[in-house]
Amino acid sequence: MKAMALEKVGRITPRAKPLVWTEIPDPVAGPGQILVRVSVCGVCHTDLDEIEGRTPPRRFPMVPGHQVIGRVEALGPGARTYSVGARVGVAWIHAACGHCEYCRAGNENLCPGFTATGRDAHGGYAETMVVGEDFAHPIPDVFSDATAAPLLCAGAIGYRSLRLCGLQDGEALGLMGFGASAQLVLQLARHQLPHSRLHVFTRKNAHQAIELGAHWVGGIDDQVPGGVQAIIDTTPVWRSVLRGLQNLRPGGKLVINAIRKENDDRDILLETEYERHLWMEKGIQSVANVTRKDVRELLALAARIPLRPVVEEHPLQEANSVIIELKEGRLRGSQVLRVA
């Protein structure tokens, strides 16, 4: 089958072509697995982390892509959850051990045996892929393939981040950065916290943030009058962590929604002052992956709202160009590759 594959990690530059258009063996569904004919696959900032080595694949070549929408083409031995032709999605969580203390508690995102789609197992930048039937998700009919794709990661991780904030309706929320995930979080917050003021810290997309319901938009270094009770940091940089802590009210929480942070500006952490940034019981929490429950709850909620991601489509063969533009911050909304 045809695929865009990563053969080695390396820095993404305007002249680089990190992915190779290649032919790889057709996958075969094993016991309890399904073979999925891929329709579309979303492009995520985590794909950049894989390519540049911050969360590298376990082997090469590796097919990236963890926001996959497609149709079941074949069933492996013992698979019976889905019928051939059913539309399914595959998210970042590709598999977990199922028996450790975290899996038993429904927190398979913390499983030591956690495997990620497109990093530890071939993902959706290809014509077909395989996944365990328990880790595939039915897609509500209200969504097209392209609009459903970003919900599987940007939406699900945003949903988990918002839940971890522990906000009550009426308490102020801040969003550091305004990429695909933050845009979906803003729409979720408007629905779940209708009386809360929503603040967006971004150097661009200010007009779009206001259109989607933000009450205040400023730069990453700006100060919100009165502060906010929680901030979700969706940026890949360290500076936003420090600036976010400065904007928290006493007892507030900063939730970091990122698989990895880039190290280019990590020296800014040397500026941390206990009284200014952490005093008054401010808290910091990371978001580690997503669970199947996160994905399915978000899909159901998104269908009810309904949530509508801003999507731009591109042919699979243009994946390199999309990745470069995403790295340079020149894209608006969620990017989706059309495979079939």
Residues forming a β-bridge with 338: 40, 315
The region of weakest confidence among 33-37, 53-57, 83-87, 260-264 is: 260-264
> What is the pLDDT averaged over residues 266-288?
84
> Residue 274: what pLDDT?
79
pLDDT digits (tens, 9 = 90+) for 59-105: 999 999 999 999 999 999 999 999 999 999 999 999 999 999 999 99
Number of other CB atoms surrounding residue 55 within 10 Å: 16
Tokens describing residue 168? 């009550």
For 154, counting Cβ atoms within 10 Å of its Cβ (0-12 exposed, 13-18 middle, 19+ buried), the class is buried
Please list, in sequence order, all residues whose beta carbon lies within 8 angstroms of the beta carbon of residue 274, skipping any fewer than 6 positions away. Answer: none
Q: Would you state the pLDDT for residue 236?
A: 85
Q: What is the pLDDT of residue 206?
A: 87
C-alpha closest to that of 49 among 98, 116, 110? 116
Question: What is the topology classification, in CATH, of domain 2-153+290-338?
Answer: Quinone Oxidoreductase; Chain A, domain 1 (3.90.180)
- For the chain, give every domain's residue range: 2-153+290-338, 155-286
CA gyration radius, the chain:
20
How confident is residue 251, by pLDDT bands cut at 50, 70 and 90? Answer: very high
| Cα 316 from Cα 125, distance rounded (Å) | 7
Chain mean pLDDT for the chain: 94
Type of residue numbered 83? S
d(CA 93, CA 136): 9
Give 155-286's CATH code, choosing from 3.90.550.50, 3.40.30.10, 3.40.50.720, 3.40.50.1100.
Answer: 3.40.50.720
Handedness of CA 221, 224, 226, 228 (dihedral sign): negative
CA gap 118, 338 in Å, rounded? 16
Q: Which pLDDT band holds residue 270 (cuts at 50, 70, 90)?
A: confident
Q: Where are the alpha helices (DSSP H) in 166-316?
A: 180-192, 206-211, 239-247, 292-304
Task: Report the b/e string of 270-287 with b at 16+ CB within 10 A.
Answer: eeeeeeebeeeebebeeb
* pLDDT tens sequence across 121-145: 999 999 999 999 999 999 999 999 9
| pTM as predicted | 0.93
d(CA 333, CA 136): 25
C-alpha angle 302-108-101 in degrees, rounded to nearest 5 = 145
Query: What is the C-alpha to C-alpha distance for residues 261 and 25, in angstroms, rounded to an integer?
Result: 34
Q: Does pLDDT of 252 surpass 90? A: yes
Higher pLDDT, 201 or 329: 201
Q: Do domains 2-153+290-338 and 155-286 have the same CATH topology?
A: no
Identify which of 26, 261, 290, 266 has the alpha carbon closest to the alpha carbon of residue 154.
290
